[in-house]
């Protein structure tokens, strides 16, 4: 015959089992995360790289310095000063427009910007104007309602002829010896928080607009891993892996 004491013990046992079943998966998940180092791939870094000696825990190791967009003082269309340094700690997408052939921003670029902001309203979109002759340019929100509230996130920058080489061919489209083909100089460019080039995209291809959105999301995850769990992740940034990533685009 079961006593009250036995019944109480069974209830306690059942509660312990149920709690264990609920808690155990979480405990195991964090055990495997913290018990080892997990290798993950990052988006490629474009541009020339430099190998330097660095001290880590008292040991000298080889570290990789990736190309960074240079500091160049330019003017926005509102006459305020712009320098790529102002966007450090910010992810942004940028591109160039040749105003010797245009008189306004093409609809395709407006569409690209609106699609990117739809997914990533927290980043910036920078348009550099070549051969600009003070043509009137409406605010981004004037093009489409989807850009309302984002006028300050889309930056218009004038590039005088004497600085075009500094910001373009020696900046966003610097020669990368690991690329089979140089990117089109009117591609969109994804830039990370340290002013490093992370991707090139054709603004006329729907697949590339989708890709820039996906890779921007992936880049955000890189920063999440780096700042939240960096002790437990190791990035595969060897030169062979980087070359493979660049040339699979």
The model's pLDDT over 176-209, given as tens digits with 9 standing for 90+, comes to: 999 999 999 999 999 999 999 999 999 999 999 9
Q: How far, CA to CA in Å, does 177 sit from each of 13, 148, 212?
A: 66, 41, 23
Highest mean pLDDT among 3-7, 166-170, 224-228: 166-170
Give the per-residue pLDDT at 64: 85
Q: How far apart are CA 100 and CA 133, in angstroms?
A: 9
Sheet with 197-201, strands from edge to edge, namely 81-82, 74-76, 154-159, 124-130, 92-98, 188-191, 197-201
Give the per-residue pLDDT at 224: 85
Q: How far apart are CA 142 and CA 107, in angstroms?
A: 12
Give the per-residue pLDDT at 232: 44
Residue bearing the bigger pLDDT, 10 or 117 = 117
Contacts 24+ apart (CB under 8 A), 246-249: 246/44, 246/46, 246/176, 246/178, 246/179, 247/178, 247/179, 247/180, 249/199, 249/200
| pLDDT reading at 93 higher than 80 | yes
Tell me what the pLDDT averaged over the chain comes to: 85
Tens-digit pLDDT profile for residues 201-246: 999 999 999 999 999 999 999 988 775 444 444 555 555 555 656 6
Give the per-residue pLDDT at 61: 77
Residue bearing the bigger pLDDT, 64 or 226 = 64
| Token pair belonging to 100 | 């010797």
Let me know: does 172 contact 182? Beta carbons within 8 Å: no
| pLDDT reading at 91 higher than 90 | yes
pTM equals 0.78
CA angle 26, 28, 30 (to 5 degrees): 70
> How far from each other are the two terminal CA atoms of the chain, in whole angstroms?
74
**CA torsion, points 180, 90, 84, 95, in degrees to nearest 10?**
50
Q: What is the DSSP letter of 132?
A: -
Give the per-residue pLDDT at 243: 62
Tens-digit pLDDT profile for residues 121-164: 999 999 999 999 999 999 999 999 999 999 999 999 999 999 99
| Dihedral pair phi/psi, residue 41, rounded to 5° | -90, 145
| pLDDT reading at 99 higher than 80 | yes
CATH code at 43-247: 3.40.30.10
Among residues 25, 204, 227, which one has the least CA distance to residue 106?
204
Question: What is the percent of the chain with per-residue pLDDT over 70, rounded to a whole number?
Answer: 76
Among residues 114, 121, 115, which one has the least CA distance to residue 147?
114
H helices of 132-177, where? 140-143, 161-167
Tens-digit pLDDT profile for residues 34-48: 554 455 678 999 999
Q: How far apart are CA 189 and CA 44, in angstroms?
A: 12
Give the per-residue pLDDT at 231: 46
pLDDT tier at 10 (50, 70, 90 boundaries)?
low
162 three-class SS: helix
């Amino acid at each position: 015959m079961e006593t009250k004491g036995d019944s109480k013990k069974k209830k306690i046992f059942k509660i312990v089992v149920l709690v264990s079943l609920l808690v155990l998966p979480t405990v195991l998940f964090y055990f495997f995360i913290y018990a080892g180092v997990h290798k993950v791939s990052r988006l490629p870094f474009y541009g020339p790289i430099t190998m330097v000696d660095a001290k880590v825990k008292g040991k000298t190791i080889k570290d990789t310095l990736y190309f960074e967009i240079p500091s160049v003082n330019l003017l926005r269309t509102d006459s305020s000063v712009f320098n790529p340094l102002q966007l450090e700690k910010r992810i942004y997408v940028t591109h160039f427009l040749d105003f010797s052939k245009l008189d306004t921003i093409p609809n395709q670029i407006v569409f690209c910007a609106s699609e990117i902001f739809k997914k990533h309203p927290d980043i910036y979109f920078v348009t550099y104007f070549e051969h600009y002759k003070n043509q009137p340019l409406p605010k981004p929100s004037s093009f489409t309602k989807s850009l309302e509230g984002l006028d300050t996130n889309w930056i218009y920058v004038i590039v005088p002829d004497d600085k075009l080489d500094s910001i373009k061919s020696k900046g966003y489209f610097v020669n990368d010896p690991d690329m089979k083909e140089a990117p089109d100089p009117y591609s969109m460019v994804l830039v990370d928080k340290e002013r490093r080039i992370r991707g090139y995209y054709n603004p006329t291809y729907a697949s590339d607009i989708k890709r820039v959105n996906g890779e921007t999301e992936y880049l955000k995850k890189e920063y999440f891993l780096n700042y939240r769990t960096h002790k437990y992740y190791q990035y595969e940034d060897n030169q062979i892996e980087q070359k493979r990533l660049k040339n699979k685009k």
